[in-house]
Amino acid sequence: MNFWSFVSQNRLEIASLTAEHLWIVSIATLLAIVVGVPLGVLITRKPALRKPVIAIANIIQTIPSLALFGFLLPAPWIGERAGRLAILALMLYSLLPMIRNTYAGIAGVDRAIIEAARAMGLTDWQLLYKVELPLAASVILAGIRIAVVISIGLATIAAAIGAGGLGELIFRGLTMVNNAVILAGAIPAAIMALLADVLIGWLEERFAPPREA
Amino acid sequence: MADSAQAAVQFCDVSYNLAKGREILYRLNLAAFSGEILVLLGRSGSGKTTALKLVNRLREQSSGEVLVDGRSTRTWNLIQLRRHIGYAIQEVGLFPHFTIARNIGLVPELENWAKEKIAARVEELLKLVGLSSDISSRYPHQLSGGQRQRVGVARALAADPPILLMDEPFGALDPLTRSDLQREFLLLQQKLQKIIIFVTHDLHEALLLGSQIALLEDGKLVSCSTPEEFVRSQDPLVRKYVEAFAGTDVRKRGRA
């Protein structure tokens, strides 16, 4: 069975696995933003927390993905469904780029601008959402871009614990020793990663603060 | 410490030390009143910028009191204190992601002014600092250095604060633009009668703009006098400063 005939015969399944893949990655990314960006902001305010927070995120990222899935399996509620487990694992992997880029983006805002804002009587909160976050947006988006591209690749492994997604085709192809089936999972995942990279890259440009001429 | 209620900005025995114990300012006593430009003159590291930042509490003194309108800055609500004081610096610090109009109108916006009132105020301020109102929809990076400095001054004046702190606001400009802005700035002050504290290391600028010149050296006040007294002073540190600028005639006070 060659690649094209496999794809055309199974296009519905491929489409639904792609959707599932996209769903897992999107939810994981959203959660990582919700957790990671505030953590990144927090460590700009409390410098003493910076090293421990980054260290923990770093350590999480060094855990091999299969092992992380395994570790999370006994967790209540999360462990009951493979999809939840995959989302949690991908979220944890995405935290490091979110936290680090949020921190770097805010720390990179020109000191003169921050000082002017403080001197104008902006409250801490106003400083954050009117000045720091908008000026850090493109750096934060760069972190999101890295996280999404990595997650799309990692999500294929989530199929090993039955979370679905395009990894299912890859694992099926591996057991069948059939390259066409492997490619039917790998190629859509690769295309998804490339598209995400281009799309978020475009957003990144759009949100870049205007530079001095 | 006479007339404490009338004085708008007063330094009373103010010292400032870094955490490591290094002394930046030592027992500073100074006062600035309405309609005055108090120039803090001194070389880099003399403590003049630190003194300025104590007024709007960007830094907090280690001992002594800074009084604003007769009240210690420590008893002011921080946000109210800062909205009461305009601030313009050499780096300008315009928000690159805001238009010129939004940059100037930010404090009024935070004070919940009506939109039309803000727009009218922005237009008025642009005119006041000599800019055309067509630039209001542009972004800071699209302006020249001189235009940005003018916007910086307009922004500092936005909510009509009675006090203005300026840290070498004309320092990064070419000499011609700088002297234009200095001249306009004097006229502006004659009109507005603010309390201005102005930091510079440039004696010419100090003599041109200052109604009082406070010379700082190593965190200590060397002298505080009018420009006329300053150039005639026999104090050795003042002489040294004046002589460093000699060659060009500083005795003539170039107030046009």
Percentage of residues of chain B with pLDDT beyond 90 = 73
Residue B123 located in a structural domain: yes
Query: Closest partner residue to A112 among B91, B107, B139, by Cβ?
Result: B91
Percentage of residues of chain A with pLDDT beyond 70 = 98
* pLDDT (0 to 100) of residue B7: 52
Size of interface A-B (CB pairs under 8 A): 67
Rounded Cα distance, B118 and B106, in Å: 9
- Tell me the mean pLDDT in the region A19-35: 96
Residue B167 located in a structural domain: no
With a threshold of 0.90, does the pTM exceed it?
no
Say how many CA atoms lie within 13 Å of A150 toward its Cβ: 21
- Tell me the mean pLDDT in the region B92-107: 94
Which residues are registered as beta bridge partners of A129? Answer: none
Residue of A nearest to B138 (CA): A210
- Tell me the mean pLDDT in the region A166-179: 94
- Tell me the mean pLDDT in the region B4-27: 84
- Tell me the one-letter amino acid at B222: V
B140 interaction partners in chain A (CB closer than 8 Å) = 210
Confidence tier at A18 by pLDDT (50, 70, 90): very high
Kindly tell me if the per-residue pLDDT of B4 is higher than 50: no
CB contact under 8 A, B97 and A135: yes
DSSP, collapsed to helix, strand or coil, labels residue A177 as coil
Q: Exposed/middle/buried for B37, CB within 10 Å: 0-12, 13-18, 19+? A: buried
CB contact under 8 A, B96 and A213: no
Q: Are A161 and A82 in contact (CB under 8 A)?
A: yes
Confidence tier at B256 by pLDDT (50, 70, 90): very low
How far does the CA of residue A141 sit from the closest CA of chain B (Å)?
Answer: 16
B96 interaction partners in chain A (CB closer than 8 Å) = 113, 135, 209-211
Rounded Cα distance, A45 and B17, in Å: 23
Within the 195-224 window of chain B, which residues sit less than 8 Å (CB to CB) from chain A?
A: none
Q: Note the pLDDT tens digit of each residue in B34-51.
A: 999 999 999 998 999 999
Confidence tier at A161 by pLDDT (50, 70, 90): confident
The answer, for A118 touching chain B at a CB cutoff of 8 Å, is yes
Q: Exposed/middle/buried for A100, CB within 10 Å: 0-12, 13-18, 19+? A: buried
- Tell me the mean pLDDT in the region A12-20: 95
Residue B154 located in a structural domain: yes
How far does the CA of residue A108 sit from the closest CA of chain B (Å)?
Answer: 14
For residue B155, what are the domain limits? 85-161
Query: Closest partner residue to B93 among A112, A130, A213, by Cβ?
Result: A112
Q: Note the pLDDT tens digit of each residue in B102-136.
A: 999 999 999 999 999 999 999 999 998 889 999 99
CB contact under 8 A, B89 and A210: no
Residue B239 located in a structural domain: no
CB contact under 8 A, A121 and B79: yes
* pLDDT (0 to 100) of residue A210: 80
CB contact under 8 A, B110 and A110: no
* pLDDT (0 to 100) of residue B8: 84
* pLDDT (0 to 100) of residue B139: 94
The answer, for A125 touching chain B at a CB cutoff of 8 Å, is no
* pLDDT (0 to 100) of residue B172: 80
Which residues are registered as beta bridge partners of B9? Answer: B32, B68
The secondary structure of chain A in percent helix, strand, coil, rounded to multiples of 5, reads 85, 0, 15
SS in 3 state form for chain B?
CCCCCCCCEEEEEEEEECCCCCEEEEEEEEEECCCCEEEEECCCCCCHHHHHHHHCCCCCCCEEEEEECCEEHHHCCHHHHHHCEEEEECCCCCCCCCCHHHHHCHHHHHCCCCHHHHHHHHHHHHHHCCCCHHHHHCCHHHCCHHHHHHHHHHHHCCCCCCEEEEECCCCCCCHHHHHHHHHHHHHHHHHHCCEEEEEECCHHHHHHHCCEEEEEECCEEEEEECHHHHHHCCCHHHHHHHHHCCCCCCCCCCCC
* pLDDT (0 to 100) of residue A213: 42
Question: ipTM of the predicted structure?
Answer: 0.85
Rounded Cα distance, A198 and A8, in Å: 27
Residue B225 located in a structural domain: no
How far does the CA of residue A200 sit from the closest CA of chain B (Å)?
Answer: 20
Q: Are B28 and B13 in contact (CB under 8 A)?
A: yes
Measure Cα distances from A149 to A25, A36, A146 in Å: 9, 17, 5
CB contact under 8 A, A126 and B110: yes
Query: Closest partner residue to A116 among B80, B83, B87, by Cβ?
Result: B87
A199 φ/ψ sector (left φ>0, alpha ψ -120 to 50, else beta)? alpha
Query: Closest partner residue to A213 among B83, B97, B141, by Cβ?
Result: B141
Kindly tell me if the per-residue pLDDT of B6 is higher than 60: no
The answer, for B81 touching chain A at a CB cutoff of 8 Å, is yes
* pLDDT (0 to 100) of residue A26: 97
> What is the number of domains present in chain B?
1
Best of B55, B79, B137 to disrupt the A interface (most A CBs within 10 Å) is B79
How far does the CA of residue A136 sit from the closest CA of chain B (Å)?
Answer: 11
Average pLDDT, chain B: 89
- Of B148 and B2, the one with more pLDDT: B148
B100 interaction partners in chain A (CB closer than 8 Å) = none
Percentage of residues of chain A with pLDDT beyond 90 = 82
Measure Cα distances from A15 to A195, B204, B209, B225 in Å: 16, 75, 73, 82
The answer, for A108 touching chain B at a CB cutoff of 8 Å, is no
Which residue from A136, A143, A138 is spatially nearest to A109, judged by alpha carbons?
A136
Measure Cα distances from A87 to A7, A153, A154, B19 in Å: 27, 13, 11, 46
Q: Which of A177-181, B2-6, B63-67, B231-235 has the lowest mean pLDDT?
A: B2-6
The answer, for A184 touching chain B at a CB cutoff of 8 Å, is no
- Tell me the mean pLDDT in the region B213-242: 92
Q: Which of A72-81, A99-108, B56-65, B172-181 has the lowest mean pLDDT?
A: A72-81
The answer, for A119 touching chain B at a CB cutoff of 8 Å, is yes
Residue of B nearest to A134 (CA): B97
Tokens of A105: 């983006």
Residue B224 located in a structural domain: no
Q: Note the pLDDT tens digit of each residue in B139-154.
A: 999 999 889 999 999 9
Best of A109, A120, A135, A206 to disrupt the B interface (most B CBs within 10 Å) is A120
Kindly tell me if the per-residue pLDDT of B251 is higher than 70: no
Rounded Cα distance, A141 and A94, in Å: 12
Residue of B nearest to A136 (CA): B97
- Of B228 and B19, the one with more pLDDT: B228
